[in-house]
């Protein structure tokens, strides 16, 4: 086994960590088509080196000794309708991370984790409740996308047999950094992974979204990277007193600073930031909250995504009732703020926003969702 990665503590070297140039250097003196075959295997087939059958056996074995997949599947769960799939992974050092794939009519989106756990301590978020373990490496971030792509492809192949290509598409079209962790706290690796998603996975910047709790220096830095990646800001409160309480990092980066960062992002990239707002019953769903949000959204030149708060074990408050969400959305709309209400996905398999806790879900297989154990629990 190779030495632990200095920055992440990851114990393996994932074959998806090196760039193509770095792989060329690692392979050394081999014909160029070998690199093409390796690349095709890693990125088109989503195979680990030992399974890339076009490579000679000795080469597979040699690479396989030096590079191993960093995420080991522990369990896979599917929602009752089959359109939401969640994976629980274990890293070599025993951290647990989760990934969620969501199929919609015309797109398939994977929600990936950037850290094992999270240090931001937002009380309503299951990951925050569990605390921080470590940053994920580039390979650990990308392996989640590899798994999602493979799943899309397998699903399509299955359906082609019995449904002759009918039904929604199964091509991975979007990646959102909205799983476990704060992507901008793991800035360098998230940026590298984002670039690699564009170059090696062929995803357009507009099909990638990074969601941040609001780390202002990194938001500004990201605006200058020259990428047209989507940026989502988890606001949840539009006055500092309430936000200090809900999102503790607000004590460091106030709402006024966030507004400046959003405007700057728009100026530099031409892309509007989207404000995420988890609707919490009686906490941030009143008319007065809507009015404050209208002011911030206008100043920030942002549009707004409303998400009903999902229940988590460590937080007593519940999500707003549908009627209140509709009323809130209507109030924003009447003030010309662009607003969407996000559908709740994956609640039956604990795969909805903020529910990723890295431990096994309490959902049992049976009536609705299905769980496949991929490895015995330790």
Among 69, 191, 273, 309, binds ligand SAH (CB under 6 A): 309
Question: Which of residues 121 and 260 has its CB atom nearest to ligand SAH in the complex?
Answer: 121
The verdict on 190 binding ligand SAH (CB under 6 A) reads no
Per CB under 6 A, does 212 bind ligand SAH? Answer: yes
Cβ distance to ligand SAH smaller for residue 17 or 234: 234
CB closer to ligand SAH, 16 vs 177? 177
Restricting to residues 220-239, name those near ligand SAH by CB under 6 A: 234
Residue 194 contacts ligand SAH per CB under 6 A:
no
Candidate residues 18, 41, 46, 354; the one interacting with ligand SAH per rule CB under 6 A: 354
235 Cβ partners below 8 Å, 6+ apart? 214, 243, 255, 258, 275, 276, 277, 293, 296
Query: Would you count residue 285 as binding ligand SAH (CB under 6 A)?
Result: no
239-247: list long-range contacts, CB under 8 Å, 24+ apart: 239/292, 242/283, 242/284, 246/122, 246/123, 246/124, 246/280, 246/283, 246/284, 247/120, 247/122, 247/213, 247/214
* Residue 98 known to be catalytic: yes
Please provide residue 363's backbone torsions phi and psi, each rounded to the nearest 5 degrees.
Answer: -65, 130
Q: Shortest gap between Cβ of 355 and ligand SAH (angstroms)?
A: 6
Q: Nearest to ligand SAH by Cβ — which residue? A: 354
When binding is defined by CB under 6 A, the residue of 97, 100, 197, 278 that contacts ligand SAH is 278
Helix axes 187-199, 216-223, angle to 10 degrees: 30
Question: 149: helix, coil or strand?
Answer: helix
Name the catalytic one among 111, 122, 152, 353.
353
First to last CA, the chain: 22
Known active-site residue 140 = no
Is 178 a residue that touches ligand SAH (CB under 6 A)? Answer: yes
- State CA 109 to chain mean position distance: 9
Of the residues 143, 182, 285, 350, which one makes contact with ligand SAH according to CB under 6 A: 182
Indicate whether 320 belongs to the interface with ligand SAH (CB under 6 A): no
DSSP codes, 60-124: HHHHHHH---SEEEEEEEE-TTS-EEEEEEEETTS-EEEEEEEE-SS-EEEE--SEEE-SS--TT
Q: Out of 37, 250, 312, 320, point to the residue binding ligand SAH (CB under 6 A).
A: 312
SS3 content of the chain, % helix, strand, coil (to 5): 40, 20, 40
218 binds ligand SAH (CB under 6 A): no
- The answer to whether 255 contacts ligand SAH (rule: CB under 6 A) is no
Q: Residue 248 CB, nearest distance to ligand SAH (Å)?
A: 12
- The encoded tokens of residue 238 equal 């539009």
The yes or no reply on residue 125 touching ligand SAH (CB under 6 A) is: yes
Please provide residue 22's backbone torsions phi and psi, each rounded to the nearest 5 degrees: -65, -35
- φ/ψ (deg, to 5) at 346: 80, 10
Interaction between residue 275 and ligand SAH (CB under 6 A): no
307 scored as a contact of ligand SAH (CB under 6 A):
yes
CA–CA dist 334, 72 (Å, integer) = 49
Q: Which residues bind ligand SAH (CB under 6 A)?
A: 120, 124-125, 178, 182, 211-213, 234, 276, 278, 307, 309-310, 312, 353-354
Catalytic positions, written as ranges: 98, 353
């Amino acid at each position: 086994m190779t030495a632990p990665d200095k920055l992440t503590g990851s114990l393996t070297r994932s074959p998806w960590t090196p760039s193509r140039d770095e792989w060329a250097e690692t392979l050394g003196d081999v014909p160029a088509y070998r690199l093409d075959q390796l690349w095709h295997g890693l990125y088109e087939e989503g195979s680990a080196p030992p399974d890339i059958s076009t490579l000679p056996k000795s080469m597979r074995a040699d690479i396989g000794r030096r590079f191993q997949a960093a995420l080991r599947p522990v369990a896979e769960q599917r929602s009752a309708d089959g359109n939401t799939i969640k994976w629980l992974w274990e890293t070599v050092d025993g951290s647990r991370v989760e990934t969620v794939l969501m199929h919609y009519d015309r797109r398939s989106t994977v929600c990936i984790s950037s850290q094992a756990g999270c240090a931001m301590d937002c009380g309503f978020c299951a990951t925050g409740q569990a605390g921080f373990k470590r940053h994920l490496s580039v390979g650990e971030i990308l392996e989640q996308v590899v798994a999602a792509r493979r799943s899309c492809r397998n699903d399509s192949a299955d359906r082609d047999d019995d449904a002759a290509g009918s039904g929604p598409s199964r091509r991975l079209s979007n990646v959102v950094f909205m799983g476990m962790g704060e992507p901008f706290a793991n800035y360098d690796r998230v940026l590298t992974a984002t670039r690699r998603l564009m170059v090696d996975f062929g995803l357009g910047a507009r099909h990638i979204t990074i969601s941040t709790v609001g780390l202002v220096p990194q938001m500004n830095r990201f605006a200058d990277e020259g990428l047209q990646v989507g940026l989502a800001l988890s606001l949840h409160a539009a006055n500092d007193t309430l936000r200090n309480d809900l999102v503790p990092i607000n004590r460091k980066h106030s709402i006024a600073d966030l507004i400046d960062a959003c405007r700057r992002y728009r100026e530099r990239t031409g892309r509007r930031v989207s404000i995420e707002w988890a609707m919490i019953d009686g906490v941030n769903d009143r008319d007065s909250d809507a009015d404050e949000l209208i002011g911030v959204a206008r100043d920030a030149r942002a549009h707004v995504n409303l998400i009903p708060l999902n229940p988590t074990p460590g937080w007593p408050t519940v999500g707003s009732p549908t009627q209140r969400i509709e009323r809130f959305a209507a109030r924003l709309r009447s003030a010309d703020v662009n607003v969407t209400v996000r559908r709740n996905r994956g609640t039956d398999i604990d795969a909805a926003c903020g529910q990723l806790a890295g431990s096994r879900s309490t959902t049992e297989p049976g009536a609705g969702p299905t769980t496949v154990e991929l490895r015995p629990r330790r």
